[in-house]
Amino acid sequence: MGGGQEINRGEAGISAWLEAIRTSLPEWHVYVSPDLTESEYAAGHALETLSGRANAVTDSSLHLAVSMRSFRAEKVSAFVKAVLDRERDKARELFAQVSPRYAIALTRDLNRAKQWIRDHARGSERFGLVASSEAQRLKPHAIDIRVEVNPIHWFLNGAEDTRSSFYMEDAATEFQVQGLELDWACVTWDADLRFDESDWKYHAFKGSKWETIHKTDRRQYLRNAYRVLLTRARQGMVIFLPAGDESDPTRTPAYYDATFEYLASIGLPVLESA
């Protein structure tokens, strides 16, 4: 089982499996990896409750540490984890290892991001825009996640079809791309998840303003949504972070600047506007 993939209400991940084993299946012999204490699994407490059982064994060889999602860089998932865990030094170190074979760039110009994608894709390699399902204020950039995307057309149709990912007009959300892959992805990052030195700030757009998300599970779903989006591409990705607009209180630059500066500080090359 992978970690950090819970994006839907009611999803509890591997911790729920372990809790069910503890409470309902005491006779089962349990073999688990000790690495389930890592942040994306959120299973540390459940693992502790099993530790006293005579028929529970931890074995580090059970942990599949190498992701094969990308043939170019198996450490992309570890890099994304470090980014989301705000481990700046570790993320910088992993980026240096990943970047020679897996291209990642950062920009505040959506047109520049799209051109970067087109310049890198070869032949029939598939590319497209992805966005969080909470990214409600990308509409000024002609990205409206409320427009329903048909995953069949988006993933399978050819470059001549306006419904396909190739057109980079419709952004697929974490719900539409979970478990699926692109060759190249443009990850559009809105003000729903904002960097702060002490923690991420989690928001949902309600009515005409952003509201803070307080519930722990909803915060985890949003963070995992970005984990899904940032790990969709096999060969590389560009991250688009809007510059914001001082005249629009729902898109003030302060909502975006700290996140952009954080990602740039990790070493992601910044693409200037054309």
Per-domain residue ranges for the chain?
14-62, 76-271
**What token pair was written down for 154?**
């988006």
Residue where the block lists tokens 């409750």: 49
Q: 145-172 pLDDT, tens per residue?
A: 999 899 999 999 999 999 999 999 999 9
Q: Could you tell me the pLDDT band of residue 35, with boundaries at 50, 70 and 90? A: confident
The region of weakest confidence among 48-57, 126-135, 167-176 is: 48-57
Q: Could you tell me the pLDDT band of residue 2, with boundaries at 50, 70 and 90? A: low
Say if residue 127's pLDDT is above 70.
Answer: yes
CA geometry: angle at 32 spanning 223 and 20, to 5°?
75
Q: 78-103 pLDDT, tens per residue?
A: 999 999 999 999 999 999 999 999 99
Per cent of the chain over pLDDT 70 is 84
Q: How far apart are CA 19 and CA 6, in angstroms?
A: 16
**What token pair was written down for 218?**
């909803």
The region of weakest confidence among 52-56, 124-128, 199-203, 212-216 is: 52-56
Q: 194-242 pLDDT, tens per residue?
A: 999 889 999 999 999 999 999 988 999 899 999 999 999 999 999 999 9
Say if residue 253's pLDDT is above 60.
Answer: yes
φ, ψ for residue 227, nearest 5 deg: -60, -45
Q: 103-123 pLDDT, tens per residue?
A: 999 999 999 999 999 999 999
- For the full predicted model, state whether its pTM sits above 0.85: no
Q: Which one has a higher pLDDT value, 58 or 202?
A: 202
Residue 179: predicted pLDDT: 84
Say if residue 3's pLDDT is above 80.
Answer: no
